[in-house]
Structure 1
C-alpha cells in the first residue's frame, strides 16, 4: 500500500482539529429527503462485493469492508486495498472495521482479526471466528466481539491493549452466549455485549444480563443485533427478528421499554443497526424497511423508494465532518446538510407547482400551489383546499396587508383571508377580478393588482371596492412595488419601468441592452433606488440614471429571477446559476464605480440551489427570523443567511501515487526515478466529504515551477519535460468553503541522469570541446602559417622562375650578342664583318626584346595556349639559330588532351631548355622530340651529339641555371626527370608526369591505353 510519512506533529494537529469539530452534525430539524444524498452501488462498479462495514482513519480516508476485500475512498475515487507483499488478511470477507486514535486500522474478517498500520499488517492468530463489531474506549483499549468461535475457545469478548490480547467468557463473569454480534462502551467504562440470547453488561468484577427472557419469547433465531448508548446513559437495543413487542427497545433508569413515536412503530421493526449522531438523533437501520430517524419524539423515514441503495441497512457511520454514511446490502449512501433546503411534494406540499411564496408576520409561510394553499408553521405543513373553505384550487399571487389580512389570487378570483374566513373580492358588475399575477399595497393602504388574460389590466382595491385603472398600451405589469413617496412602481412585461400616482403614468426605459427584457421582480430601497431583475442582469435606477450589474461585473451569469435583502442588508439574487449574495458594502462600492467588479458568494446546485422563475408574485420572501424563501414554479427553497455554517476543517492532503512512463511507484520520500523519465503523473487527493466536487488544489514542483499551479478540482499533476535532478512536489487544498490546508503534502524525488547526462560526462564533454577548440586553433594557426609560407615560397619560386627565364632566354641572347660584338671589335676596319656583326646583334636584340616580353607575359598568363604543347615545342625547335646539318623531328603520340596550365607551362620550359641546349652545345646532326599522351604524359628529347660533361650532369655549371632549372621545374609538377648522356650516344632527356596530375580529365580505360600503344607502334613501325 502506497503511503507517505506524516510528521507526528501534523497527526496530532489533525486529531485536535477532529476533536474540536465533533459537534458537527446534519441538521436534525430537516427531513432526511432535504439532505444531499449520494449513492454508490455494486452495480455501478464502484466496488466489488457486498459491503458490510465502514470507518474513517485519522488520516481522513474512509474504508469500506466488503465481501471481496477492503476499499479506500477519498470522496471521489474508490481504490482497492493491496495487501503488503508476503502478508495476507485472515480472509477477504470483512465484517467490521475501526479507525482507532493511533492512526491504524482494525480489520475484522469472517475468521479472524488483523491490524494494519504504517504499511505493516499484523494478524492475531489467537482470535478465531467472525469478528462482528469493534470499538475503542477512552483509555485506548480496543474491544471486539465475535461469533462462530467453535468448541474449546475462550469467550466472545476480547480486549486488546497494545500488543496484549485477552478474551473473556463465562469464566470471567460474562454470561452472554458465544455468538455475539454487537459491542458498545458507556461513560462508566462498562462494556455492553449483544448476543443471540441476551444483552450483557460487563466489567472486571461486575456483570449483568438483560433481555434474556424477552428473547426467549420470540420465534426463530433472534438476538441483540444493534446497540447504541446516549450521552444521557440511555441504552438503545435493536432486535434483528422482531415480534410484536421487541423490535427497538430503550433502557432508562433500569426500565426497558419498547420505543414507538409518530411515524415509527419500534416494536415491529427488525433492527439491524443503530446510531446516535452528534445531535442526539437516533438513526435506525432495519432489515428490510430502510432508515428511520428519530428526533424530539418524531420519526422520519427514508427507503429505496426515495433513492436509498437498498432497504437492507447494515451499518451507520458519522464522519468527522458530520456526514452520515449508510452501508446497505447493495452499496453505500451518504447524507449531508445542504445550505439550501427544499420543500416539495416529498416534504408534504400539495403539488410540485409552487408559483408564489409569502412569509407572514406571524411566522407562517404561505405557498401558492396548484390544487391548494400550503402553510408551513413551526415546521409543520398544513394543506388548505376547497373542502377547507378555499374558494378555488390554483393559487396565484399572495399579499399580506398592513392589517395582517392575507390577499390570495385563486383561480380567476381574488380573495381575502381574515379571521380564518375567505371573502371573495368582486368588481362592480359582480364578476371576478381575473388571474392576479402580482399585488402590492401603497402608502395609503390601497391594494393594487396586476391581472392577465381577458381581464388584463391594473386594478386598485380600496375598502374592498375594485376600480380598474386605465393604462397606456403595452404597460402590462409583471411586478409591482410601492413607491415610498406615493403611488406604485411597475416592472413591465415589455421591458422598462413605470410609475403610477394619482392618475398619472410615467414610464422609464432601460437603454443599456435590456430594454426588451421583461422585469421579473422589483425591489425599492428607502432612498428611492429601484432594483430590477431582468434576463440581462440587475438594473439599478435612480433619478433617471441606469446602471447594469451582470457577468461583466462579477456575477456568475446574467439572468436574474428575483431579489431580496437579508437582515444584514446584503442583496440576494435568484439567478440561473444559483443564489448569489452581495454584501451592502460591495454594492455601495459598485454604485460609485459601475464599471468595477463586485465580490459575490454563490450557492449552486452542489449546495442544493435550484433557482427558477416564479409565475406569480411574490417569488421571493423574507421571514421574520431572517430566512429567505424562493419559489421556482416547482417547489420552495429556503436559505438562512444567519446560519450558514462554515466548514472550518481544512482537508488532509495526501499524495497517493506516482506514474512515470506508465509505471506505478509508491510515493515514498526521496524516491529515485530511472533515467530518461519523460511522462510523469502525480496523483493527489484531499479528504473533505462535505462537497468533494468543490475541493480545490494548488501545487508546485520546486525545481521546475516558478509559481503555484492552479488545477482547480483536478487531482493529478502532469509533467513531460523534467530534466535529471532533485525535485520537491508540494500540494495544498481547500474545502468547499475555501479553508486551505497550507501545509498540505510534500514529496521529494529525483530523476537519475543517463550516462550522457552525468556530471563526469559533462566535464569530459566540456574538456573535449576545449581540446577540440584548441586543436582547431592550432590547425588554423598552422594553416595560416603554411599559407604565409606558401606565399613566401611562391614569391621565391617566382623569383627563381624569373631567374631561369632570364638565364635561359634573355641573358643567353644578350650574352650571344656580346660575343658577336666582341668578334666584330677584333677587326674594326673590316666593314663587311662589322656590318654582319651589327646585323646579327640587331636580330638578337630583337629576340631579346621578344623573350623579355614573353617573360613578363608569363607573370600574367600561360606561356602557351591550351592543348598546344606539341606545336609549341616544334616552334621552339625550329626558331632561332639551327646548326647547319642538324635535322629536327617532332612527333606527338596519342590524342592531345587538356593539360593543367602549370604542368603545360613547366613542361614547355623544360623542353625549351633541353632543345636550346641541344642546338647550342650538342654539335649533333639530329634532334628528336617525342610528346606522348598515354596513361601518363611523356616528353622525350634526344640528340646524337657529344653529350654533357659528367661534372655538369647533376647540378650544371657554376653560375648557370639550365640543368638546375629543369630539375626544379620537374619537381614543381611532381615529374620524373631522367638525363642520360655520353660522348658516343649523345644526350637523352626523359620527363614523365603522372596522368592524374597532367590531365584535367584523366582517361584510365583499357581501351584508351591499347589505342595509344597501337598508335605508338604504328608511328615507329614496330610490330605489336
Structure 2
C-alpha cells in the first residue's frame, strides 16, 4: 500500500504488508516517485503504481515506468481501474488515459470531460465508467461522455456501487450523495451525518457504511440512508470514531484512489490517516439493542435550582426555565441523541441532537408534562424517557375570578351606557315631540291671530265701507260725506292687510335685503313701544344664503318681541357685527330677566316658539346660541355663526 510517512526523503516508496510485517517493496529508483498516490492490481495479477512523475507497472518481478517519454501523458496519477473489457483507465491531472491493446489514449475537456483533473474512477455493473473530476461528475458509456450538471460542482472523493446497483458519491465537504433511478439526493450533517466529508465509502458485511473524513471515521446504516432519501424518516443516526477510540489521528487522507479498502480475506476495513493506517474489524462492533436510560439531572427557574421530585411550579414573576438531562451509557455517551417535547404545548418532538439542556421562557399558564427521550449510538430509542410535571400559574389578570369580574364590570358598563343612550334617545324624542307640539300650536295660534285680525280689523273696516256705500245709495242728493268715510276706512283696511302680510313675510327682506329688513323692523318696534331701542348693524347682505335669511330675521324678531312682551325693560340694544367670516348677534335688555332653566325657558316660549324656536333656528343655521339671564338682571342673547358651517 502507499503510505505517507515522516522522513519520506529517507525512505518513502511503497510498503508491503504481509504476515503482520511491513517491508519496503519499491524504492525511489524503482518507481517514478517515492510519493505514491494510487495502486491497483489487475485481473492478471499485474500491479500498477501511480505516483508523482508518472506510472509504474510491476510484472513478473520487474518494474516498468511509463512517462511522457513513452507516451504516457500524466505526471500525477490519482486513480486506476480496469473495465469489463480488460482495458485499464488512469485518472491524472492532465486528463483521462486508457490503455487499450498496448497503446495509451488520452481524453480531456475537448473530448467532453468537465475538467482535466480526474480524481476517482469506477465502472458499474451496467459497464458505465463514472469519472470524478475537480470540476464535476461525468460518465462514459458506448464511446460517449456525459456530464451530470444536475449535480453541484463539488469535489467528489469516492464512488461506491452497492449490491442493489445504487451509486453513492462521497465528497470533500458536500455530504454523501445517493443516485438511484437517475435521481440524486444529498445527505449531510443537518440530516444526521457526523461530518460532511466522505473521502472513502466502505460497506461491511452487516449493511453498514464506514466513511472516512477530516473528523474521523463514522458509520451509518445503508438502510437508514435509503429510507431518508425516500422520505420515510426525518434523519439518520451516525456513529463517529476518533482518537478516543484508539486512532492515533482522527484526520483521514483522501483525494486519491484508493483512500481505503475492504479485506477480502477477513472483511476488515483499512483507512489511511495522517499518522498511519487504521484497521477496523466490523464483526467486533455489535449493534446496541439496549435502550439508553434517561434522567433529569437538574431544573433551574430563573437560574436557581429547584426540587423537581414532585413536579415544579412556575409563578407569574418567573421568566426562564432550564431543564438539564442526560443519558446513562458506557458506549459512546457523548454521541447519545435526545429529543423532547412539552406535552400540552408541543405537538411534535423537538430534535435536540446531543444537546443536554432544554430552555423555555414565558410559558403560557397551564399544566404540562416535559418528556425527554434518548437514542444510543445505534439509534435505539428509549421512547418512555424521563418526565416531570410543570404547572405554570397565571397572573392575577388571567385568573378566572378576575376575568369574571371583568365580564361583570363590562356588562355593567354596557348596561349603563345602553341605559344612558336610551334615556338620551327618550329625551331627544320627547324634545322632538315637544317641538312638534309647539310648532303645531304656533301654527294654530298664527291662524287664530290672522283670523282675528281679518275679523276684528279688516272685516269691520270692510263692513263699515259696505254700510257707508248703502247709506250713499239711499241719500241720492249729497254723498260726499259718505264717500270720504269710505275712502278713510278703505285706507285703514289696506294698512291692516299690509300689517298682516308683513307679519307673514316681510317684503323688505326680498326687496331691500336682510340688513334693511332688520333695520325697518327695529324702527317700527321702537316707534310703537315704550322702550328705548339702540342698534348697531353692519351690512350683512350676502353673508347668509337666501333660504337662511328668514331664520336669522325671525331670531332677531323673536328676541325683540320677547323684550316688548315679557321683559318689562326700559332700554334695549341690538348689535349685529360681521368680520372674518363670522356673524355675531347680541340682543340686550335691562328688564326683569328670568332663570335659564328648562321650566323658565318653557314659560318664556308659551306665546309661540319662544326661546325654543330661537334655539331651533340657531341649530338650523349651524350657530352657537348663548343666553345669559337672571331674575332682576336683564337678559343677553348672543348668537355666533361661522360661514364655514353654513
Unaligned runs of 5+ in 2: 152-168, 176-184, 190-194, 473-481, 539-548, 576-585, 593-602, 616-626, 642-646
Query: 1:515 corresponds to which residue?
Result: 114
Query: 2:546 corresponds to which residue?
Result: none
Aligned match for 2:48, one of 437, 442, 448: 448
What are the superposed Cα offsets for residues 286-335 of structure 1, whole Å, 9 maximum, x if unpaired? xxxxxxxxxxxxxxxxxxxxxxxxxxxxxxxxxxxxxxxxxxxxxxxxxx
| 8 Å contact from structure 2 (residues 91, 117) kept in 1 | yes
Partner SS state of residue 115, structure 2: coil
**Does the alignment pair 1:479 with 2:45?**
no
More helix by share: 2
Query: 1:266 corresponds to which residue?
Result: none
Matches within 5 A, 1:338-349: none
Query: 1:221 corresponds to which residue?
Result: none
Partner SS state of residue 13, structure 2: strand
Aligned match for 1:818, one of 433, 454, 459: 459
Query: 2:99 corresponds to which residue?
Result: 500
**Does the alignment pair 1:874 with 2:514?**
no
Query: 1:849 corresponds to which residue?
Result: 501
Matches within 5 A, 1:327-342: none
1:467–1:516 Cα change, 3 Å:
closer
1:740–1:468 Cα change, 3 Å:
closer
In the aligned structure 2, how far is the partner of 1:838 from the partner of 1:823?
A: 9
State the Cα distance separating 1:727 from its structure 2 match.
1.9
Query: 1:186 corresponds to which residue?
Result: none
State the Cα distance separating 1:519 from its structure 2 match.
4.0
Query: 2:387 corresponds to which residue?
Result: 746
**Does the alignment pair 1:603 with 2:236?**
no
In the aligned structure 2, how far is the partner of 1:666 from the partner of 1:587?
A: 42
In the aligned structure 2, how far is the partner of 1:400 from the partner of 1:962?
A: 130
1:796–1:584 Cα change, 3 Å:
closer
Query: 1:930 corresponds to which residue?
Result: 572
Aligned match for 1:410, one of 27, 36, 47: 27
Instruction: Single out whichever of 967-976 and 736-745 deviates more from structure 2.
Output: 967-976
| 8 Å contact from structure 1 (residues 621, 630) kept in 2 | yes
Aligned match for 1:561, one of 185, 194, 199: 199
Aligned match for 1:613, one of 253, 261, 283: 253
Partner SS state of residue 78, structure 2: strand
In the aligned structure 1, how far is the partner of 2:226 from the partner of 2:522?
A: 117
TM-score, reference length from structure 1: 0.44
| 8 Å contact from structure 1 (residues 479, 491) kept in 2 | yes
| 8 Å contact from structure 2 (residues 58, 64) kept in 1 | yes
| 8 Å contact from structure 1 (residues 439, 480) kept in 2 | yes
In the aligned structure 2, how far is the partner of 1:992 from the partner of 1:971?
A: 20
Aligned match for 1:889, one of 527, 532, 537: 532
What are the superposed Cα offsets for residues 113-159 of structure 1, whole Å, 9 maximum, x if unpaired? xxxxxxxxxxxxxxxxxxxxxxxxxxxxxxxxxxxxxxxxxxxxxxx
In the aligned structure 2, how far is the partner of 1:793 from the partner of 1:581?
A: 97
Query: 1:789 corresponds to which residue?
Result: 430
Matches within 5 A, 1:99-178: none
Query: 2:13 corresponds to which residue?
Result: 396
Query: 1:44 corresponds to which residue?
Result: none
1:637–1:939 Cα change, 3 Å:
same
Partner SS state of residue 413, structure 1: coil
1:650–1:532 Cα change, 3 Å:
farther
State the Cα distance separating 1:652 from its structure 2 match.
2.5
Partner SS state of residue 553, structure 1: strand
State the Cα distance separating 1:637 from its structure 2 match.
1.5
1:849–1:409 Cα change, 3 Å:
farther
State the Cα distance separating 1:730 from its structure 2 match.
1.4
In the aligned structure 2, how far is the partner of 1:577 from the partner of 1:741?
A: 28
What are the superposed Cα offsets for residues 564-614 of structure 1, whole Å, 9 maximum, x if unpaired? 4544676644334544557777899999x9xx9996846354765724336
In the aligned structure 1, how far is the partner of 2:424 from the partner of 2:413?
A: 16
1:818–1:436 Cα change, 3 Å:
same
Unaligned runs of 5+ in 1: 1-355, 358-366, 373-391, 415-431, 896-900, 943-960, 979-989, 1002-1024
Query: 1:909 corresponds to which residue?
Result: 558
Query: 2:410 corresponds to which residue?
Result: 769
Query: 1:939 corresponds to which residue?
Result: 589
State the Cα distance separating 1:482 from its structure 2 match.
3.1
In the aligned structure 2, how far is the partner of 1:600 from the partner of 1:711?
A: 13
Matches within 5 A, 1:88-99: none
**Does the alignment pair 1:837 with 2:486?**
no
Matches within 5 A, 1:205-604: 356=1, 369-370=5-6, 393-397=10-14, 408-414=25-31, 437-453=37-53, 456-457=54-55, 459=57, 461=59, 464=62, 466=64, 468=66, 470-471=70-71, 473-474=73-74, 476-494=76-94, 497-506=96-105, 515-516=114-115, 518-524=117-123, 528=127, 530=129, 544=145, 549=169, 551=175, 553-556=186-189, 560-567=198-205, 572-576=210-214, 578-579=216-217, 601=238, 603=240
In the aligned structure 1, how far is the partner of 2:48 from the partner of 2:330?
A: 50
1:621–1:667 Cα change, 3 Å:
same
What are the superposed Cα offsets for residues 771-791 of structure 1, whole Å, 9 maximum, x if unpaired? 322333333333333333332
What are the superposed Cα offsets for residues 788-812 of structure 1, whole Å, 9 maximum, x if unpaired? 3332222223333444555667864
In the aligned structure 2, how far is the partner of 1:599 from the partner of 1:532?
A: 28
Partner SS state of residue 319, structure 2: coil
Partner SS state of residue 424, structure 2: helix
| 8 Å contact from structure 1 (residues 733, 740) kept in 2 | yes
In the aligned structure 2, how far is the partner of 1:968 from the partner of 1:394?
A: 129
| 8 Å contact from structure 1 (residues 533, 539) kept in 2 | yes
Query: 1:87 corresponds to which residue?
Result: none
**Does the alignment pair 1:693 with 2:334?**
yes
What are the superposed Cα offsets for residues 333-389 of structure 1, whole Å, 9 maximum, x if unpaired? xxxxxxxxxxxxxxxxxxxxxxx45xxxxxxxxx664469xxxxxxxxxxxxxxxxx
Higher RCO (C-alpha 8 Å, min separation 6): 1
| 8 Å contact from structure 2 (residues 46, 57) kept in 1 | no
Partner SS state of residue 468, structure 2: coil
In the aligned structure 2, how far is the partner of 1:767 from the partner of 1:477?
A: 88
1:520–1:559 Cα change, 3 Å:
farther
Superposed CA RMSD: 5.2
Partner SS state of residue 522, structure 2: helix
What are the superposed Cα offsets for residues 845-867 of structure 1, whole Å, 9 maximum, x if unpaired? 23322322259x99xxxx9779x
What are the superposed Cα offsets for residues 439-496 of structure 1, whole Å, 9 maximum, x if unpaired? 433334444333433xx3565745626364733645742222333431312122245x
State the Cα distance separating 1:620 from its structure 2 match.
1.9
Aligned match for 1:660, one of 290, 295, 301: 301
What are the superposed Cα offsets for residues 913-965 of structure 1, whole Å, 9 maximum, x if unpaired? 664899xxx9xxxx9542389xx9642479xxxxxxxxxxxxxxxxxx99941
Query: 1:282 corresponds to which residue?
Result: none
What are the superposed Cα offsets for residues 725-773 of structure 1, whole Å, 9 maximum, x if unpaired? 2222212222333222211111112122333222122122212222322
What are the superposed Cα offsets for residues 647-673 of structure 1, whole Å, 9 maximum, x if unpaired? 444333222333333443211324333
What are the superposed Cα offsets for residues 72-91 of structure 1, whole Å, 9 maximum, x if unpaired? xxxxxxxxxxxxxxxxxxxx
1:917–1:682 Cα change, 3 Å:
closer
| 8 Å contact from structure 2 (residues 572, 587) kept in 1 | no
In the aligned structure 1, how far is the partner of 2:239 from the partner of 2:91?
A: 26
1:733–1:444 Cα change, 3 Å:
closer
State the Cα distance separating 1:615 from its structure 2 match.
8.6
State the Cα distance separating 1:628 from its structure 2 match.
0.8
| 8 Å contact from structure 1 (residues 521, 562) kept in 2 | no
What are the superposed Cα offsets for residues 178-237 of structure 1, whole Å, 9 maximum, x if unpaired? xxxxxxxxxxxxxxxxxxxxxxxxxxxxxxxxxxxxxxxxxxxxxxxxxxxxxxxxxxxx
